[in-house]
């Protein structure tokens, strides 16, 4: 018996996460990434919330998702509220959690057909 729902073609799905790697649609990533529901996955500069800048948030806002799942690495770290203003002004919801939880949450939301983007912070390996 099949227990997983069919995935629509073109929908991005996060297949696995380890401390140094994310796998999306079979492609391995070792840096922070933006994962939209559909379309290309792209690298994203901040490795943690301390490195987060306004232009990083603008990259997300330009895609105009309904909701952003912000994965802040191995631990939950909140971004400064002032940095999130571009999203709030555009009425884009933001949920912050550690990256592992963000990956799981993104997959559930995208499987429901939501217009969601995962902004996943992954520190480069030393």
The pLDDT value given to residue 19: 86
Q: How many CB atoms are located within 10 Å of the residue 20 CB?
A: 14
CATH number for 25-120 (one of 3.40.1230.10, 3.40.50.11540, 3.40.50.620, 3.30.2350.10): it is 3.40.1230.10
Q: What percent of the chain has pLDDT over 70?
A: 90
End-to-end alpha carbon distance in the chain: 43
**Over residues 96-117, mean pLDDT:** 96
pLDDT tens-digit map of 9-54: 789 999 999 988 999 999 999 999 999 999 999 999 999 999 999 9
Write down the pTM of the prediction: 0.90
**Centroid of chain to Cα 82:** 19
């Amino acid at each position: 018996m099949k227990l997983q729902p069919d995935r629509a073609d073109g929908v991005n799905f996060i297949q696995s996460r380890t401390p140094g790697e994310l796998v999306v649609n079979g492609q391995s990533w070792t840096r922070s990434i933006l994962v939209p529901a559909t379309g290309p996955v792209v690298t994203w500069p901040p490795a943690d919330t301390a490195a987060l800048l306004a232009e990083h948030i603008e990259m997300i806002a330009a895609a105009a998702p309904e909701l952003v799942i912000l994965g802040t690495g191995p631990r939950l770290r909140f971004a400064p509220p002032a940095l999130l203003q571009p999203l709030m002004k555009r009425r884009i919801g933001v949920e912050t959690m550690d990256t592992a939880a963000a990956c799981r949450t993104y997959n559930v939301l995208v499987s429901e057909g939501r217009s969601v983007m995962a902004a996943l912070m992954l520190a480069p390996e030393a």
